[in-house]
Structure 1
Amino acid sequence: MSTPPAAVAPPAPPRLTVVVPCYNEAANVPEMVRRLDAALAGLAWEAIFVDDDSPDGTAAVAKAIAARDPRIRCIRRIGRRGLASACIEGMLASAAPFLAVIDGDLQHDETLLPRMLAALEAEEAELVIGSRHVAGGAAAGGFSDLRQRISEAGAGLAQRLLPMRVADPMSGFFALPRAVFDGLAPRLNGTGFKILLDIILSADRPLRVMELPYSFRPRQAGESKLDLAVLIEYLGLLLDKALGGVLPLRFLAFAAVGLTGVVVHMVVLGLAHGLGPVPFERAMWLGALAAMTSNFLINNRITYRDRRLRGAAMLRGLVLFYLVCGVGAVANAGIAAVLLRDGVLGWELAGAAGALMTVVWNYAMSSTLVWRAR
């Protein structure tokens, strides 16, 4: 009679989940795993790489490591993009009692993670932040002068809204209990790159915060994701929290882009008719076409950054945007005419009501048809 094989004890469930949001970080994934393995030796941990369908094959690299290391997982997101939403998705996928977020570019100091976990387990804090701006921390090594100034300005703006003192609200390196995150997750905005700020401002009470110093490292591979759109998204997040989320952030951005379209329209009208020989009505159509084109390009780059259209899809989207806005313009004129004709409103308010309805129509149809979620 053969002896049954000895039972193999299953691995201990992870005590800590480290969420690593990624976009074009294929070269950094193996080194990140190696560093986490060294920093968290003796602890039960896992890492979830959340990749926004990087064209450099980040997900493939992470999955190849996951195939031989059960502590590594990978979520590949198709048709969704954004650091904040990636972090939220990764944290929601965890069953560990504690969560940490660290950037995939190796600029954060992973050796701080055991101290973060220890502080949370001892209930010394509900949110532990890796901080560049407390005594012992440093940021200059990982920032250009321009990025340093932008970071400092952004932190100054954020601190005006925070319910507690946080020296580095722009940090992307932090840890918290999963129970705390689960409680505030439904209130998160999920837009942009500053997930920590979103968490602090979404809590229904001031969290007990601890900041641990670390030195921000220079990037070794890949390139920075900071651009104008990121800054606009950050300002939009602050505005959204300041207004208490009364209006969707995407709608506010869409309306703001519409205002830039008015400027484009007037410039084209002035050049074509005011300074040029084009008849007024034809110049008006040229101005409208230019404004719609400008609005589409800016919305595609900023408002719908996470659903950005490219190639043939972008051309189809532009044509559909023309149609949507054309219907909106007809509706604008019709609504305003009815309100004015029936004596409901004067021409000023009738025109404003028609314009408002146009913005709402264009936004609703654009979100549903042009930049529909995939």
Structure 2
Amino acid sequence: MSEYTAPALGRGAVEVPEPGAVTLVVPTFNESANIRQLLHRITESVPARLPCEVLFVDDSTDDTPEVIRAAAQDCPFPVAVLHREEPVGGLGGAVVEGLKAATSDWIVVMDGDCQHPPSLVPELVATGERTNAALVVASRYIEGGSRAGLAGGYRVAVSRGATWLAKALFPRRLHGISDPMSGFFAIRRSAVTADVLKPLGYKILLELAVRSRPRRVAEVPFVFQDRFAGESKSTAQEGLRFLRHLAGLRTASPAARMVGFGLIGASGFVPNLVGLWALTALGMHYVPAEILANQLGVVWNFLLIEQLLFRDRRAHRRWWDRLGRFALLANADLVLRIPLIALLVGRFGMGALSATALALVMTFVLRFVGTEALVYLPRRTDRKRAA
């Protein structure tokens, strides 16, 4: 096997077995002003002995695809562009499309705004080969790394807060990954499990590490650089998408979803009580007022579980079908609870308080299972089509 030498950021050269090839996957959205500079840096940084190709996955609404094709004429390596008319999953979705399309032994994911230095590509691959890691993360938060390119204290605080929150929610999955918010990493194509990924927004590394983390992970430091041109795509809306993404990842297992379902159900008491207060204040009798107020709680719960628990399972039914089924289950819970309490007290001799508590637990479990099976489980025709 032939050898190549990769730079190691001032720590001396490291000889490693040469990988078959590297595909650089670059997601882009209106980055036309950065394309030529990025390709120029890649040309200067990646050794000729490291076979390389660049795949842009583009969601742009400007002339970025045309600029890529024109700039590719001057490159000594293959450059391709995959333009998506529908940017499903945002930047993360673009990366997943690139992972599926890549054919090289190693895939390096990096941004198209020149904040990720292409000079680090050889070391990412070299570190993976040397340590036998399947995933190598470029980190701003280990010795030798820096977040210098983050503009302003606000973005620094947001980045650190997001990192802390993600690591707090996934201590095992993110163990050994100091920068789960990084968008710069290398992964072996043999370790890619793109079909299980459900990206939402920018944080594809977080998605990959939580849903299908390779067993062996390594890190190399990098200095996050200033943008070459244009403005950051980070917005408050992306921040909300990140929080929804975290919630979706955290509630991926049935047990976690059940906990979330219970917490959301408990929060439904707030609109229920507010509605009851408002309706009785308007002169309505408390019985019909409670029935109507309960529906406010049902709608509240439905909206939250749609966004936080079952966001990726909503395509199997129309919204009104899902809402109707969920409301039917929620109201059936109320109807079932009273005779169940009477049965536990009269037949099994339980006290009223303990019977009520047990009935609440039993109907909660039934409602959760019913919601999973009758509202969000794909219909048989959908499952057969997917198969």
State TM-score, norm by structure 2: 0.68
Are 2:300 and 1:287 equivalent residues in the alignment?
A: no
Q: 1:71 aligns with which of 38, 55, 79?
A: 79
1:231 counterpart letter in structure 2? L
- Cα distance in 2, alignment partners of residues 359 and 340 from structure 1: 19
**Structure 2: gaps spanning 5 or more residues:** 1-18
Alignment match, 2:245: 233
Alignment match, 1:156: 164
Q: 1:18 aligns with which of 21, 24, 38?
A: 24
Bigger radius of gyration: 2
Residues 20 and 51 of structure 2 are in contact (CA less than 8 Å); yes or no, is this contact kept in structure 1? yes
Alignment match, 2:61: 57
Q: 1:28-47 maps to which residues of 2 (within 5 A)? A: 28=31, 31-32=34-35, 34-36=37-39, 38-40=41-43, 42=48, 43-47=50-54
1:133 counterpart letter in structure 2? Y
Residues 99 and 194 of structure 2 are in contact (CA less than 8 Å); yes or no, is this contact kept in structure 1? no
Alignment match, 1:325: 326
Q: Equivalent residue of 2:145, what SS? A: coil
Q: 1:238-317 maps to which residues of 2 (within 5 A)? A: 239=250, 246-247=253-254, 256-273=263-280, 275-299=281-305, 301-303=307-309, 317=319
Name whichever of 133-142 and 121-130 sits farther off: 121-130
- Cα distance in 1, alignment partners of residues 54 and 198 from structure 2: 24
Q: Across the two proteins, how many residue pairs are aligned to each other? A: 340
Q: 1:329-368 maps to which residues of 2 (within 5 A)? A: 329-337=330-338, 339-340=340-341, 342-343=343-344, 346-367=355-376
Q: Equivalent residue of 1:96, what SS? A: coil
- Cα distance in 2, alignment partners of residues 262 and 49 from structure 1: 49
Identity, % of aligned pairs? Answer: 26
Residues 29 and 104 of structure 1 are in contact (CA less than 8 Å); yes or no, is this contact kept in structure 2? no
Q: Equivalent residue of 1:129, what SS? A: strand
Q: Which digits, 9 at most, give the CA deviation of each residue in 1:276-300, with x for residues without a partner? A: 4332233224423433443454455
1:215 counterpart letter in structure 2? F
Alignment match, 2:234: 224
- Cα distance in 2, alignment partners of residues 155 and 254 from structure 1: 25
Q: Which digits, 9 at most, give the CA deviation of each residue in 1:20-40, with x for residues without a partner? A: 345xx1x21563465135314
Residues 128 and 211 of structure 1 are in contact (CA less than 8 Å); yes or no, is this contact kept in structure 2? yes
Do the aligned partners of residues 64 and 96 (structure 1) sit closer, same or farther apart at CA in structure 2, a change above 3 Å counting?
same
Do the aligned partners of residues 264 and 156 (structure 1) sit closer, same or farther apart at CA in structure 2, a change above 3 Å counting?
same
Q: Equivalent residue of 1:141, what SS? A: coil
Q: 1:62-211 maps to which residues of 2 (within 5 A)? A: 62=65, 65=68, 71-74=79-82, 76=84, 78=86, 80-81=88-89, 83-84=91-92, 86-123=94-131, 125-157=133-165, 158=167, 160-161=171-172, 164-179=175-190, 181-182=191-192, 193-200=202-209, 207-211=216-220
1:230 counterpart letter in structure 2? F
1:362 counterpart letter in structure 2? T
Are 2:227 and 1:215 equivalent residues in the alignment?
A: no
Do the aligned partners of residues 294 and 339 (structure 1) sit closer, same or farther apart at CA in structure 2, a change above 3 Å counting?
closer
CA deviation after TM superposition for structure 1 residue 96, in Å:
0.7
Do the aligned partners of residues 369 and 32 (structure 1) sit closer, same or farther apart at CA in structure 2, a change above 3 Å counting?
same
Name whichever of 184-193 and 71-80 sits farther off: 184-193
CA deviation after TM superposition for structure 1 residue 174, in Å:
0.6
Do the aligned partners of residues 82 and 251 (structure 1) sit closer, same or farther apart at CA in structure 2, a change above 3 Å counting?
farther
Q: Equivalent residue of 2:268, what SS? A: helix
- Cα distance in 2, alignment partners of residues 79 and 292 from structure 1: 32
